[in-house]
Amino acid sequence: MCSAEAVPVVACRQLVRRFGERRALDGVDLDVAAGETLVLTGGNGAGKTTLLRVLATVLRPHGGAVSVAGHDLPRHARAARPSIGYVGHEPLVYPSLTALENLQLYGELHAVQPGRCHEALAMVGLERRGNDRPADLSRGMRQRLALARAWLHRPALLLLDEPTAGLDADGREVLRAMLDQHAGAAVVATHEPDWFAGGRELRLTLGRVAG
């Protein structure tokens, strides 16, 4: 990992993102230091998912300044992408490819060693289900697959959108183990902030930082 003591992994200044006329993010300021876990809370429509998607470089910011791993978005988004591991609402996998094939595809896109895919499957407890398609997996197992996918390239920044959704007790153990191993920063959007007790909590309301 590169030395990131001075530069925060995530820095947002007056970040704005619109959807049509509506401002989903309306001037958000926040910093996430290396090794820190930021826990985003707030009701539905508060802007948590939008913020994570902007940080994941899949939504362009419309105003303000935002940088990830020291790279300004959107102009240097491509340089920031290797540092990002994103878990969204959907598992982001192809339904007609097997679990392993999906990981292998993402492995190639992230240019990781082919062995990592089996390793990642084992880590989330899916080593026997590698040849099953996502549709044949339970919801919780698909979520585990999503965790494995985001963890493949050992990102410096994990962006997790309601990662506990659908996870059973074992699944939560997997997530806990993953976060313990993770040395970098994390931004987690969740309705269960108590579960991420080690992190710093930040509440969003109507696209702004509350309080």
Partner 1 sequence: MEIGSRSARPDRATVAATAAAALMALALAMIFFYVPTDADQGYSQRIFYFHVPIAVTTYCLFAWGAVNAARYLWKRDESLDLKSYVPMHLGVIFGSLTLVTGSIWANISWNTWWFWGDTQLTTFLIIFLFNCAYFMLRFSVEAGERRSTYSAVYALLGVGLIPLSVLGVRFAQQNELIHPITFNSSGANMDGSMFLTFLVALAAMLLLAVTMYLVEMRGKRIDERVRQIRQLAEGRA
Partner 2 sequence: MRAYRALLRKDLLLELRGRELVPAMLAFALGALLLVRFGLGGATQAGGTRAATGLLWVVVVFTSMLALVRSFAQEREHGIWDGILSAPIDRAAIWAARSTATLAFLIVTQAIALPLFWLFFLQDGNPPSLGVLVAALLLADLGVAMLGSLLAGLASQVHAREVLLPVLFLPFAVPLVTVAVRVSVGTISPQTGGSATLEGLGFLALYDTIFGLLGWALFEYVVED
∠ CA 158-164-169, nearest 5°, is 125
Residues 18-47 that bind partner 1 (CB under 8 A): 18-21
Residues 148-177 that bind partner 2 (CB under 8 A): 149
Q: Which does 18 bind (CB under 5 to 8 A by kind): partner 2, partner 1, none?
A: partner 1
Residues 45-74 that bind partner 2 (CB under 8 A): 53, 56-60, 74
Q: Is 193 exposed, middle or buried (0-12, 13-18, 19+ CB in 10 A)?
A: middle
- Specify which residues 38 forms β-bridges with: 187, 200
Cβ-proximal residues to 33 (8 Å cutoff; 6+ apart), any chain: 8, 9, 185
Among 62, 76, 118, 208, binds partner 1 (CB under 8 A): 62
Please tell me whether residue 110 binds partner 1 under the rule CB under 8 A.
no
CB 21 within 8 A of CB 2: no
Task: Choose the binding region for partner 1 from 14-22, 45-53, 94-102, 199-207 (rule: CB under 8 A).
Answer: 14-22
CB 129 within 8 A of CB 141: yes
Binding site for partner 2 (CB under 8 A): 53, 56-60, 74, 78, 81-82, 84, 86, 88-90, 92-97, 101, 104-106, 108-111, 149
Question: Could you list the residues that contact partner 1 (CB under 8 A)?
Answer: 18-21, 60, 62
